[in-house]
Structure 1
């Protein structure tokens, strides 16, 4: 233990009974958190899981008194560190933040101040609470926290800014900021959502080291049941502000009592779910040989056309170099990358951060020119030509981004966003009819047509992005982590929608994802990138079940989930 600030293993850090949180005048005056009981002990990990809007983050933020402006909070018991938090003054709540409980958010790039160096960010809590005297002592604590968070060369990294770090390093910088004041509790809200499997594993190991070695309590909010199964001691499943299932992680995930929990587990994509609708999955139990047996039942997706048709896109010998400011010299982002995508085919592109996936996608989209090699689309040159020469083919290649909100013009309505991809030679009545038809295709109510992106849910925004892509009747769609920020149930709906539309229209997909289970579910073939080179490619089932290359095996070994869903 350090400075005597970490909790004694087993000590109750948070003890909440019948917590209610609401916002007067909103949500029909109904509580968004409705009667939650939560107990977190030192040296254990408690996980909150459930779909968006279930009350997970609101519950967690209340421990820091950050439920939001105008929040009304009540509880039969609300103790933090053995004290009645309902009577805390503003100063006592400030002491809780950072000193008693550290917070690790989902989006490190948004959470970190772009104008401050990482060292300043990490040292802020120590300085604000006056835990150490003198700049030298604070600096030492900062470097120690960075090292504990697994950041190499802490001295150099502490002088960098957030945009100069990779996604994994930024997330570890957030962890360093959260542990710098040696808190007794860490609240981690979706800390690994957008990270690839190997970086995700590193971040989880950093968090769990604090739990096991120092007896810190960990409250984990996550929609990734595989991550939860690996590290949580107990799980609370939330829906509509209530806990519908709870208990030890093994018990809840192996023998779920509530239908909602069963639906979440069954909706996790895998090789077994390939060809079936994820959102239709349900667990059915029965008796066999005097034992209770559970199995997943799913409805099939529409049949797809036979593969092996026209080559939609061909990439040959792609190479791309970037000049590095730090340290000088060139960085080889892509090196002799070649592949092709045929009509109706789904090619999965996997690899850890920095492997070249994004660079490859930008070259395919014609947003970046390769230094070597070239790309052809529908048999015509696509790279190495002026944009005016690409314009006629542009509609045939579309894009579904990871974060639609940042890719949409915030001033555009849903109608405007979709109209961007429709030919303006059509009359207004026909354009309006097509927009409404596309909304129907992606399962959205046409009453959303005049809404702004910021007023839509994450799942609705992703459906609008799909509708925009389909409006151009493309031959190929590049899907860049299209569901990584969505919870399990919404992810299942979006993936089912992509599968249905792809089967109906025969559109080819370049599907980029760090979720190996998802790639197994959707891809026909897989391309594995490591440091800009293709190390393995082939039929998805073969590559992801019997990998030949050691790097592919490393990726698969890093996938969390000692628990596996019912076969």
Structure 2
């Protein structure tokens, strides 16, 4: 089966009827920033039109101009920005003539914005109910506390949040990552805007919640005639919902057209490279960033296309089964419960059970994937493995030694053998440190000359210039920061690395490079990995075995092929059914 025919089955047909007057009508958009070294152009010559009942998607790598293009639709580009255009109409009015007051009236009523990082976007001092209800009260859309609370409750329920009354009284830090993101989406749609601007709205969400969010946004487009500008590095999500796609690179649109056409028959080499870099079961054992399209003349009646990839280096250890070889980690029957509303004391019936009787092991050189919905217990499990949280029941052994129920002083000799690669490396770095100092934390007792040589070698090992050592992490790109986090973990020469959503915030191109790097280093060094991700296709690409968690319990585990291709548990089947078909599934 050709790539084209398989992809066409995954892309919904464009909206049949679109209103004649666009919500957004821009021609020749340019965005420039004036700085001490002159003018910097970040967007140039972009045409963008969004009609009611239409979803337009912007895709491209980090720094391509997607987010700044979207932000200019709300006059949120930032200080020092200069926006120009041949035509810039918002709701059929000349936006180049808008004053600050006009833009403020449009935010939340005409257009709602969904950002990527909910923890940063949500006010830590206000409840979720206050956050979602703000646009309603600020713009006087409803009057009276009861009416505002009712709309807030209904909006939270619409984005898949259960127990909305309880969530309205909570703060952002009390919610899981998935719940925070859904609360942010609820805040954007509470004012019933005619245009929704969604900047990576599903990046932090698991497959089932992602599906709910896409269905909510899709219903707004399909049933209510709302326009949607979707920014996403997940091309499978784009294929599910978008009518048209604009592919951006270096501030310019390199390809545009109907989603069906752009994603199934890409013309531009950059678009083809993006699609080929998407992980899947078929990419297992290969370098994602090496992927390229080639003609496959096997079927004389069609112009079939296939993706060709270079293999990863051979593994030092055979692909693990969890039953052979040295076990570097043994988790035996761990359980963890939390008191609702905080507090301490003995267990109560109303406590939240985060984990119950969870057992697994990881062999030397093995990659174990950990998947499940938001709130399933993945992060709690990772914290217990890392020794940051003590289990209420069960034990963890690291390299054959007791780990979970020992004081930190007694664990110190083993600490270096267990390392961590977080989802957001910048928040895990000391902002006062340079890259060299960040890595040096894990080097132990070395002379200055030895440390300098080792840090330079580690940076080169993860594909970075050794000269970056004197820069601060905030001056690096997202992909560079993630590589620094990997270098910091490798500095300790660990036996096991816990990878918690290590690439979920990265665009397709950078994700492919980082995943390739992890695979190459893992093959060469034989380090075991506990790989936590909501991306089922990525886990299938990188893991040997997989563990499926649901409500704190292990419902299924086994080889990735057995679990993902022949699931035995109903929950696993439901989780897989929510995953959009990978774009390269047929290749």
TM-score (structure 1 length as normaliser): 0.95
In 2: Cα distance, 1:279 partner to 1:62 partner: 32
Contact 1:399/1:477 (<8 A) preserved: yes
- Encode CA deviations 1:370-390: one digit per residue, 9 max, x unaligned: 121111111111121121211
Distance 2:584 2:311 in 1: 21
Q: How does 1:156-235 map to 2 (within 5 A)?
A: 156-235=166-245
Q: In structure 1, what is the Cα distance between the partners aligned to 2:36 and 2:222?
A: 42
Q: Does 1:342 align with 2:346?
A: no
How far residue 358 of structure 1 moved from its aligned partner, in angstroms, is 1.0
1:323 — aligned with what?
339
Q: 2:516 aligns with which of 486, 491, 496?
A: 496
Residue 57 of structure 1 is matched in structure 2 by 67
Instruction: Give 3-state SS (helix, strand or coil) of 2:219's partner.
Output: helix
Q: How does 1:102-141 map to 2 (within 5 A)?
A: 102-141=112-151
Say if 2:104 is the partner of 1:76: no
Report if aligned partners of 1:17, 1:78 keep a CA contact under 8 Å in 2: yes
The answer (yes or no) to whether the contact 1:230–1:563 under 8 Å persists in 2 is: no
Where 2:295 maps in the other structure, the secondary structure is strand
Report the alpha carbon displacement of residue 366 of structure 1 after superposing the two structures with TM.
Answer: 1.3
Which deviates further from its counterpart, 29-38 or 402-411? 29-38
- Give 1:128 shift: 2.3
Tell me which of 534, 543, 567 is aligned to 1:514. Answer: 534
Does the 8 Å contact 2:537/2:582 carry over to 1? Answer: no
- Give the superposition deviation at 1:28: 5.7
Count of aligned pairs? 560
Q: Distance in 2 between matches of 1:464 and 1:132?
A: 49
The answer for the alignment partner of 1:4 in structure 2 is none
Q: CA RMSD in A?
A: 1.8
User: What is the DSSP-based 3-state SS (H/G/I as helix, E as strand, rest coil) of the residue aligned with 1:291?
Assistant: coil
Out of 264, 277, 297, the position equivalent to 2:308 is 297
The corresponding residue for 1:257 is 267
Corresponding position: 1:446 with 2:457:
no
- Aligned equivalents of 1:147 and 1:330: distance in 2? 23
CA distance in 1, matches of 2:158, 2:415: 48
* Alpha-carbon distance in 2 for matches of 1:24, 1:328: 60
Q: 1:390 — aligned with what?
A: 411
1:124 positional shift:
1.8
1:86 match = 96
Which residue, 411, 422, 430 being the options, matches 2:443?
Answer: 422
In 2, the alpha carbon distance for the partners of 1:559 and 1:499 equals 23
* 1:547-567 deviations in Å (ceiling 9; x for gaps): 001111111011123755550
Write out per-residue CA displacement over residues 168-211 of structure 1, whole angstroms, 9 at most, x where no aligned residue.
33222222221222211000000110111111111111111211
The yes-or-no answer on 1:461 pairing with 2:481 is yes
Equivalent-residue separation in structure 2 for 1:72 and 1:223 (angstroms): 26
- Which residue does the alignment assign to 1:480? 500
Q: CA deviation at 1:419?
A: 0.7
Residue 413 (structure 1) aligns with? 434
Is the partner of 2:396 in helix, strand or coil? strand
User: Does the Cα contact within 8 Å between 1:227 and 1:561 map onto a contact in 2?
Assistant: no
Contact 2:54/2:228, CA 8 A, preserved across alignment:
yes
**More divergent stretch after superposition (129-138 vs 86-95):** 129-138
CA contact (8 A) 2:540 2:561 kept: yes
User: Against the structure 1 CA distance between its residues 435 and 363, is the aligned structure 2 distance closer, same or farther, given a 3 Å change threshold?
Assistant: same
Residues 387 and 301 (structure 1 numbering): CA distance in 2 closer, same or farther, change over 3 Å? same
CA contact (8 A) 1:168 1:203 kept: no
Cα deviation, residue 27, structure 1: 7.7
> Does residue 574 of structure 2 align to residue 547 of structure 1?
no
Structure 1 residues 141 and 335 mapped into 2: Cα distance closer, same or farther (>3 Å)? closer
